[in-house]
Amino acid sequence: MADKPPAWEVTSQIETVDLGPAGTFVPGVKIGFRTAAGAIGAVFVPSDAYTVERVRAAIAERAAAMTAIGELTG
């Protein structure tokens, strides 16, 4: 039995600053990823929440939404 390919893979990590909801600057990391279907996305994770678990959860959530939207038909 062959291993199932990953649902997504990280393609880049860039330290950056984002503008938070209160108008303050929030340092963090922009993580780029590619889904198994080929969609390319990114998530921003604040530096103070930058852990493997938090990044994995953020990417999994965004990748799932991108996959579902990519499968929409009209």
- Domain containing 55 equals 8-70
Task: Determine how many CB atoms are found less than 10 A away from the CB of residue 58.
Answer: 17
63 Rama sector, left if φ>0, alpha if ψ -120 to 50, beta otherwise: alpha
**CA–CA distance, 53 with 29 (Å, rounded to integer):** 14
Decide: pTM greater than 0.75: yes
Element housing 36 (H / E):
none
- Tally of domains within the chain: 1
**CA–CA distance, 35 with 59 (Å, rounded to integer):** 10
Residue 52: inside a domain? yes
Residue 2: inside a domain? no
Residue-wise pLDDT tens digits, 7-44: 999 999 999 999 988 999 999 999 999 998 899 999 99
Tell me the backbone φ, ψ of residue 52, rounded to 5 degrees: -55, -45
